[in-house]
Amino acid sequence: MMIKIFLIYLLAINGITFFTYGIDKWKAKRSKWRIPESTLLVVAVIGGSVGAWLGMKVWHHKTMHKKFKYGVPAIFFIQVAIVGYVIFKGWIQGG
């Protein structure tokens, strides 16, 4: 049950993050009020790193900013390592 909730959360936060990057790109092209960079990074940190990475690629957004170019992939790999550790620890303790 917890895994299902976790997967639904990841799907939702990554979808939200992907479209947030797209909205910010749309606003940038039209010289509108922008979504703060800190917000874009926070949604990646709270689980939306895949959506952020895809948003950067699809919308061609924030690809030249070093904190995004290197930060978003770093956030992703750290999250994968944490999830891997939790799964491995649970497997060792449960098995």
Is the per-residue pLDDT at 16 higher than 70?
Answer: yes
Lowest-confidence region among 27-31, 44-48, 79-83, 89-93: 89-93
What is the residue whose two structure tokens read 């449960």? 94
Give the model's pLDDT for residue 32: 97
Higher per-residue pLDDT: 37 or 89: 37
Is the per-residue pLDDT at 95 higher than 60?
Answer: no
Give the model's pLDDT for residue 92: 75
CB 64, CB 28: distance < 8 Å: no
Domain boundaries along the sequence of the chain: 2-94
What is the residue whose two structure tokens read 């990074």? 41
